[in-house]
Amino acid sequence: MKSPFVTDAMLCSSRRTFLAGAGALTAWAVMPKYAFAGQRRDPRFLTVILRGALDGLAVVPPVGDPDYPALRRDLAIGTSGFGSTLALNDFFGLNEAMPGLYGLYKKGEALVVHAAATGYRDRSHFDGQDVLETGMTGPKMSETGWMNRLASVMPRGDGVRPISGLAATPTVPLILRGDAPTLTWTPLDFKPAPSDTLDRLLDLYTHADPKMAEVLMAGVSTEMLAGGGTDPMKRAGGLAASFKQLAAGSAKLLLQEDGPRIAALSYDGWDTHTNEGAETGRLQGLLAALDGAFSALADGLQPVWKDTAIVVLTEFGRTAATNGNDGTDHGTATTAFLFGGAIKGGRVVADWPGLKPSQLYQDRDLAPTTDVRAILKGVLRDHLGVGEPTLTTKVFPDSIGVKPLDGLIA
């Protein structure tokens, strides 16, 4: 059977049909896949956080939406004159920088959720990431992360091993903070991913301390001349290597017999206010690096791939229209990715809200139609066997109104 919110039927879908469809599916989908597993399962679950707010419309552009080209202007990839995309279906394309993810999609192991957002509706990165990581209904409501709480309520598989989390960061990120044990790991010569911090500092200094601006600019130029880390091409190469290294190392740890079973990885740099470069440029470089990291996870986790689910999330999306600097500002809904052998993929799940001015959230952002917690609750229930009451009270408190999304797990 085909669910009405799958994009094959999406063009005629509306919020109402989505809700009706979801209700209809409940009967079979609430029974966790976990319970069906006839033999011993040892599932792996990873969350990849893209900090800075990923522009969902540039990663998975709605090339079939008639309002898309005008809204995105020079960033409207996949429309005539602005490059092509990898066709996910008649309506959505995937940014060409992500052939690896596309391959998984074609194999039915990757799924895109579009127009997704957490419950947070303001536009501060910190608060948005706080909500994404605590799983609460608003910012600063908890000092523990939902993945840590998940670790303490997860069924233990064979029942002997305490569930521990892996944070592929130098310190434990909020999403994994709490009482359950957490390992931290980063590559030996780990350097935070090159970000646009230099650009931001130059901007700050130009306003606040011109002498510092002049000196820093000279330093950046020198590094560029010397072939150092700030040359865009070399930077992209370093970025790809560092993204991949983090993913490959994490996969290794998750394969260990007594290793962690859940992990959180973070990749920074998605805050594309100026010169976004979705087709060629900064965002494209980031997406290519991310695609390499996805492939590294898929390769590294091959022995347990059929029991692996990976969710890729960001704190919020970006403005539907481009701004005056060939970039986009902080927005609301965006895309989430799910991939792994356990994912029932090859689909775009979206209750598409449309891009007409009246359909935009506050006249500017892609409107949210799927709660990120609905995605997560669906995955945690069906992949890890965590009961709905626990999900609603412990992992995502006060989320009784957010129903798990059914049918995400194969």
Partner 1 sequence: MVAEDGCLAFSRFGLGPRPGDLNRLGSDPASALLDEIADPTSLFIDQPDLPDSVDAYTELRRFQRARQLAKLQSTASENAAAPKPMDALLPKAVIAANGKVTVPGVPSPEDLMNAEIEARLDRVLNVPVGFGERLVAFWTNHFAVQAAANEIVRGLAGAFEREAIRPFVLGMFGDMALAVIQHPAMLTSLNNDVSVGPNSPQGRKTGKGLNENLGREFMELHTVGVDAGYTQADVTSFAKVLTGWTYGRGENEPENYGRFVFHKFAHEPGLQTVMGKLYPQPGVDQGLAVVADLVTNPATAKHLAAQFATYFVADVPPAALVTRLADVFRKTKGDLRALTTALVKSPEAWSTPASKLRTPQEFLWASARALQFRPEASFINRALGDLGEPLWNPPSPQGFKDDAATWLAPNAMTTRVDVAELVASRAKGLDDPRDLATDLFGAGLSSDTRTAIDRAESRNQAIALLLMSPEFQRR
Binding-site ranges for partner 1 (CB under 8 A): 51-53, 124-126, 129, 140, 143, 169-172, 174, 177, 191-192, 195-198, 200-201, 203-205, 207-209, 211-212, 215-216, 218-223, 268-271, 273
Shortest distance (Å) from residue 10 CB to partner 1: 31
Shortest distance (Å) from residue 53 CB to partner 1: 7
Number of H helices, E strands in the chain: 13, 11
DSSP string covering 162-180:
PP-EEE-SSS--GGG-SSS
Residue 194, classified by CB atoms within 10 Å of its CB into exposed (0-12), middle (13-18) or buried (19+), is middle
Shortest distance (Å) from residue 229 CB to partner 1: 9
Looking at beta carbons only, is 170 or 303 nearer to partner 1? 170
Looking at beta carbons only, is 52 or 340 nearer to partner 1? 52
Looking at beta carbons only, is 172 or 410 nearer to partner 1? 172
Shortest distance (Å) from residue 300 CB to partner 1: 23
Q: How far apart are CA 238 and CA 106, in angstroms?
A: 29
The answer to whether the beta carbons of residues 352 and 317 sit under 8 Å apart is: no
Maximal C-alpha separation, the chain: 68
Kindly give the pairing relationship between strand 370-371 and strand 110-117: parallel
List strand residue ranges (DSSP E) for 288-357, in order: 308-314, 334-339, 347-349
Return phi, psi of residue 154, to 5°. Answer: -65, 140
Chain position carrying tokens 């999406």: 10
Shortest distance (Å) from residue 215 CB to partner 1: 5
The answer to whether the beta carbons of residues 137 and 402 sit under 8 Å apart is: no
Shortest distance (Å) from residue 41 CB to partner 1: 34
Looking at beta carbons only, is 137 or 195 nearer to partner 1? 195
Looking at beta carbons only, is 67 or 326 nearer to partner 1? 326
Looking at beta carbons only, is 42 or 203 nearer to partner 1? 203
Q: How far apart are CA 28 and CA 33, in angstroms?
A: 10
Shortest distance (Å) from residue 384 CB to partner 1: 27
Shortest distance (Å) from residue 148 CB to partner 1: 13
The answer to whether the beta carbons of residues 274 and 75 sit under 8 Å apart is: no
Q: What would the two tokens of residue 165 be? A: 């989390």
Looking at beta carbons only, is 197 or 362 nearer to partner 1? 197
Looking at beta carbons only, is 205 or 305 nearer to partner 1? 205
In angstroms, the Cα distances linking 406 to 12, 13, 137, 326 are: 20, 17, 22, 38
- Specify the 3-state DSSP secondary structure of 336: strand
